[in-house]
Structure 1
Amino acid sequence: MRATIWHNPACGTSRSTLAILEGTAGIELTVIEYLNDPPTREKLVQLHRDAGLTHRQGMRTTNSPAAELVAELNLKDADEATILDAMMAHPILIQRPLVETDKGVRLCRPPETVHEIL
C-alpha cells in the first residue's frame, strides 16, 4: 500500500504518525515536508475534502507562529476562501500530519488515527 504523509519533523504528533507508518509492513511511504514543499492549492483542497475537513478545521490555530498569524491575518472569523489563501501563503497554518492512502485521507491527531486508512 502507498502512503503519503505531509510531515513536519519539528512536530511530535507528526513524528509519531511517521513512526507508525514506518513500522507498518507493506507500506510504500512518501514523506513530504510540507513547510519546504507545500501542497498546491488543488492538492490541499483535495486533501481536506477527502479527509472530511473544512479549511477552517484543517487550519492550525495554536502555538506560535500559527496563532500569531491567525490573529494578524484576522482568520478567526474568515471565510473558507480566505483561510485557504492564508494557508497557501503561510504553510505553517496547515494542520498536520495529513496522511493519504488508497483508503482515504486523515488528519492524524492523535497519531493512531492513521490506522483507519491502513
Structure 2
Amino acid sequence: MKKIEAFIKEDRIEPVANALRGIDGLSGVTVIHAEGFGRREAANEREPSPEMIHDFRGVGRLETFCSDELVEKVVETLREAAHTGLRHDGKIFVLPVDDAIRVASGKRGPDIL
C-alpha cells in the first residue's frame, strides 16, 4: 500500500480530482485547501535562489491511498491533470503505508481501501 500526497495549484484541484475519479480501484481522495510559500527564482537565474518567498499562496493538498499496483497510474494521472506548462505546478510524494485499519470493524490491510 502507498499514500500519494500532492501539492498543486488551487485552480487545478477540480481537474485533478475529476481525472482521479476515472481510475478503477481508487477508493477516494481527500482535498485540503492550504497556504504555503516556496523558493523564489529570479528571472535571470538558471538555478533557484535560496531566498524564500514570504507571501503565502493558495495550494491544494491531495491525499489518497492505493495498492502498489495502482501507484504509477495514479501518479501519472495526477501529474498530467495538474500540469499547466508553467513553473511551480506542484510536487507529488509517494510514501509507504505499513497498515490500514477500518475503525468500525477493525478489519486491516489493503482490502479496506
| TM-score, structure 2 as length reference | 0.36
| TM-score, structure 1 as length reference | 0.35
Query: As a proportion of its length, which structure holds more strand?
Result: 2
The higher relative CO (CA closer than 8 Å, separation ≥ 6) is in 2
Query: As a proportion of its length, which structure holds more helix?
Result: 1
For the pair shown, which has the larger CA radius of gyration, 1 or 2? 2
